[in-house]
Amino acid sequence: MQVKLTDMTDRRSHPGTAGEVFGAFLRLGLTSFGGPVAHLGYFREALVVRRRWLSEQAYADVVALCQFLPGPASSQVGMALGLQRAGYAGLLAAWAAFTLPSAILMAAFAYAVSALGDVSGAGWVLGLKAAAVAVVAQAVLGMATTLTPDRKRATVAAAATITALLAPGALVQLAVIAGAGAIGLIWLRQEARAIAEPDDGDVAFTVLVPRSVALSCLVVFFLLLFALPVLGGGWAVRLFEIFYRSGALVFGGGHVVLPLLESRLVPTGMVGHDEFLAGYGAVQAMPGPLFTFAAYLGAISNQILGAVVAVVGIFLPAALLVVGALPFWQTLRHLPQARSALMGVNAGVVGLLAAALYDPVFTDGITSARALALAVGAFVLLTRWTVPPWAVVFAAAALGAVTL
């Protein structure tokens, strides 16, 4: 029997408690290294195989939804599973437990960097920046292989890279994402039709979200997206707007948020180049979502309150979209137009990340032949020896302290 996303009331769809969800996701938040793809594997093992919270097909269904939405895919999957297990309190519990361990560590790292003063010439910081080059290069390579497998999508990605390099800026990046989606809608129809229709299987993901609640969340999502830039206010509103819009407009995972945040924070002086790249390198060594990079940047900008504002800002769009999209997903995922637009967006995202690999990651991270040698070694360890990113980052920082 097929069970679809529904807005009917049925207590069986909330079989657990928020405390149970928090406990399960806290363990994942403390041990899930390796980025969003690895996180999805950890979720499957812990919640589908061992705890049997849902079926394999139901899990595939929610993963498909979160891959379609902008934002941090693994965090959105966690939110959706928490919602399915224990309602809205379960969503909050899953997010908090999976996110807070890494966010707290990154905020503490920001305090350490601030206490040390000018760390731009420290060897361990140079090592972290070299590791960031390797990590982003690995992300570009992996995403290009998956998301630009043919000449049309490769062309879209190349156009996005060229545009972002010749006309850098946050507004240009947003225009590139929108333009890539429009190109995909028109130019990639044949490729979208070639993809097999999503198979709902025998059990689809079941969660109770009234359509009125879903629509309200979508209204709030778009209202904040368009209203925040024109609102007045102090530093908190400005910081919240930067992280909210970055979280709302990122397709492709945590690495893709790098160019959006860099273009808004570094040129304005809110965060320095060296601080930015040192934090980006450090977050690779943390468990949990890469979006907790926001905690570090917020703490650099305005201590603990800044970290809280940044973390809430960057994750709030993900929560609003998960709740808002669930009742409509079963229909939307079968539309070829949606799949072709998403193909274009994903190709554009690859191009933006490739541009960010050059500027600022490479231009600021490779300051000497030794730094380049360290980055090359880290890249080989990541891509050919499959050494976990956290281990590569620790090793790069240690070697940088000695050699750079």
What's the pLDDT tens digit per position in 278-297? Answer: 888 888 888 889 899 999 99
pLDDT in tens, 199-209: 554 445 666 78
Within a domain: 34: no
Per-residue pLDDT at 206? 64
With contact defined as beta carbons under 8 Å apart, do 346 and 251 qualify? yes
Neighbours of 121 (CB within 10 A): 10
Name 36's Cβ contacts closer than 8 Å, sequence gap at least 6: 72, 73, 74, 253, 254, 289, 290
Per-residue pLDDT at 94? 97
- β-partners of residue 208 are 6
Within a domain: 5: no
Per-residue pLDDT at 9? 37
E-state strands within 272-360: none
CA distances from 356 to 72, 139, 140, 257, 340 (A): 18, 11, 10, 10, 25
Within a domain: 367: yes
Quote the CA–CA distance of 84 and 91 in Å, as a whole number: 8
Q: How many domains does the chain have?
A: 1
> What average pLDDT does the segment 104-123 reach?
83
Per-residue pLDDT at 342? 79
Place of tokens 């992996």: 142
- Residue 267 domain boundaries: 102-195+210-403
Within a domain: 379: yes
Quote the CA–CA distance of 134 and 397 in Å, as a whole number: 13
pLDDT in tens, 187-224: 998 888 877 555 554 445 666 788 899 999 999 999 99
Predicted confidence (pLDDT) at residue 4 exceeds the cutoff of 50: no
Confidence of residue 25 (pLDDT cuts 50, 70, 90): very high
Confidence of residue 330 (pLDDT cuts 50, 70, 90): low
Omega of the bond prior to 360 within 30 degrees of 0, cis?
yes
Confidence of residue 105 (pLDDT cuts 50, 70, 90): very high
Within a domain: 62: no
With contact defined as beta carbons under 8 Å apart, do 312 and 289 qualify? no
Quote the CA–CA distance of 145 and 142 in Å, as a whole number: 5
pTM above 0.95, yes or no: no
Burial class of residue 384, CB neighbours in 10 A (0-12, 13-18, 19+): exposed
Predicted confidence (pLDDT) at residue 329 exceeds the cutoff of 90: no
Mapping DSSP to helix (H, G, I), strand (E, B) and coil, where does residue 251 land?
A: coil
CA distances from 124 to 121, 127, 267, 281, 328 (A): 9, 5, 24, 10, 48
Q: Comparing 225-229, 361-365, 371-375, which segment has the lowest mean pLDDT? A: 361-365
Within a domain: 277: yes
Within a domain: 144: yes
Of 318, 296, 290, 303, give the one whose Cα is nearest residue 236: 303
Within a domain: 2: no
> What average pLDDT does the segment 97-116 reach?
91
Q: Comparing 78-87, 182-191, 232-241, which segment has the lowest mean pLDDT? A: 232-241
